[in-house]
Structure 1
Amino acid sequence: MKAVRMIVLALAVAVGFSACGGKPKTKVTLEEAKAGRDQELFLEGVTAIHKGSFDQGRILLNTMINTYADSPLTKMAKLTIADSYYLAGGTKNLAQAEVEYRDWVQFFPQDPLADDILMKMAEIHLRQVMAADRDTTHAKLAERQLKEMLRRYPETDRKQDAEALMGGVQEILAMHELKVARFYYPHRESAQAAQMRTEEILNKYPNFSRFDEALFLHARAMADQ
């Protein structure tokens, strides 16, 4: 899971900061080389989250951020807090994770991880996508987020992954429209409604696996008006 890999990265960053400076030769050097409290809080917070103690980890990381705003670890601390909500799962936690990720990208739009974070925001909605005959809110939000990611970072190395996810999401959205059109045409005898639904497919989802069926139903609906 990407969030786990990011937390492992955060742990590596924390260890790296703690190890810098080499072995102290005098008491003064030891004091100067000793890791600051921001590093201690960061490492403790990341470790707590890695062990599943999400609330404790967030408290430690927020303490670090609020007390040491200029710390070079602040950026990773903010990202780790967002990851903690993602890892916790559940509707409320995922919603909060999206808020935290969005704030992070706004603060650090040029960071090398920014495209990954936008991808993660799409994955939040993908985790909540329902079947094609159910509510499509999260599928539409996932599609929107993937489009935004590709628009902002067209050269991203995650492009193929994003396009693959986009194809899956659009398959669900197109199938939803087709099922509604099937319902309206034979059962409600509403050719106009069926035409509108199939027209949505023809205009927006050219790679839909049942595009031919949508085209046929569209033609029948138009002929019956």
Structure 2
Amino acid sequence: MLITGCGLLPEVQDETKGWSAQKLYVEAKDQMADGGYEKAIQYFEKLEARYPYGRYAQQAQIEIAYAYFKANEPASALAACDRFIKLHPNHPNVDYIYYLKGLVNFNDDLGFLGALTEKIAESSETLAPLARQDMSERDPKASREAFESFKELATRFPGSKYTPDAIARMKYLVNALASHEVHVARYYYRRGAYIAAVNRAQTTMQQYPQAPATEEALTIMIKAYDALGMNDLRDDTLRIMQKNFPNSRYFALVKKAETPWWKIW
């Protein structure tokens, strides 16, 4: 009876049955405009499955990646980007996919500022508001991957309209990654792990020599060497800091106390 009863249930009708590729595409774009990203993804996927060789299929793949990005599904967005790059490495719009891939990682896990950074990403305007978000305390994996995507875009497509914004974001990411290393070095120092603090600060100096965070990295090295009793290394590092940051705010402490400034900070 149950089997018979199930057979009496009405079949779920596919509303898109008989739709042309153009209609699927237009309906999907309308859903995107209204914020219906899940529905849009469904339409784009149906379009690609039914018309894999049509002129809308490749564009649907691009739109799917963007729809996943807007729907806050970064893993799916990155997978869609990688798939497009693999299938269409010479596509006229592949530069956009590299840019989108960078944006997905750039915006990864920004919490309550996600909407703000997403808006900035769309307008490609100033990155100043992002300074309020301390990316240095986040897992740097996404930042590194974002940097690599932007770097590949800038290297392969220097004339792309997305490249100037990608370069601006790369500069921001370099500072964030350097600050992350300093953040970890500071953590080690405060817990008495002086050798680990020195190693992490040195990593900052080696990998991000132009980043502003190198000033504090040098300071941590000086303090850590002093704590270890390595006075020669401490003094060598101090000379490097004096040469590169003659107006450092840390030197101002010398005028206010008789003890070395690195023991005060």
What TM-score do you get using the length of structure 2 for normalisation? 0.63
Is the counterpart of residue 71 in structure 1 residue 84 in structure 2? Answer: no
* 1:120 lines up with 2:100 in the alignment: yes
Which aligned pairs between 1:5-44 and structure 2 lie closer than 5 A?
37-44=20-27
The equivalent of 2:204 in structure 1 is 201
Which ranges in structure 1 are unaligned for 5 or more consecutive residues? 1-35
Aligned AA for 1:180?
A: V
Task: From 135, 149, 156, give the equivalent of 1:152.
Answer: 156
2:155 maps to 1:172: no
Alignment partners' CA distance in 2, 1:112 and 1:222: 54
Percent same amino acid among aligned pairs?
A: 25
Higher RCO (Cα < 8 Å, 6 or more apart): 1
Aligned residues: 186
Which secondary structure state, in structure 2, belongs to the residue aligned with residue 208 of structure 1?
coil
Root-mean-square deviation (CA, aligned residues, Å) is 2.2
The structural deviation recorded for 1:154 is 4.0
- Distance in 1 (CA, whole Å) between partners of 2:193 and 2:144 is 25
Query: Aligned-pair distance for 1:59?
Result: 2.5
Structure 1 runs (4+) deviating above 4 angstroms are: none
One-letter amino acid of the structure 1 residue matched with residue 156 of structure 2:
R
Larger Cα Rg: Structure 1 or Structure 2?
2
Q: Mapping of 1:46-195 within 5 angstroms?
A: 46-89=29-72, 93-128=73-108, 131=134, 132-185=136-189, 187-195=190-198
**Matched-pair contact (CA < 8 Å) for 1:129–1:136:** no
Aligned positions of 1:209-220 closer than 5 A: 209-220=212-223
Mapped partners of 1:129, 1:222: distance in 2: 36
Measure how far apart 1:219 and its partner are: 4.5
TM superposition score normalised by structure 1: 0.73
Give SS of 1:156's match. Answer: coil
Q: In structure 1, what is the Cα distance between the partners aligned to 2:152 and 2:138?
A: 24
Give the distance between the partners of 1:158 and 1:49, measured in 2 at CA: 22
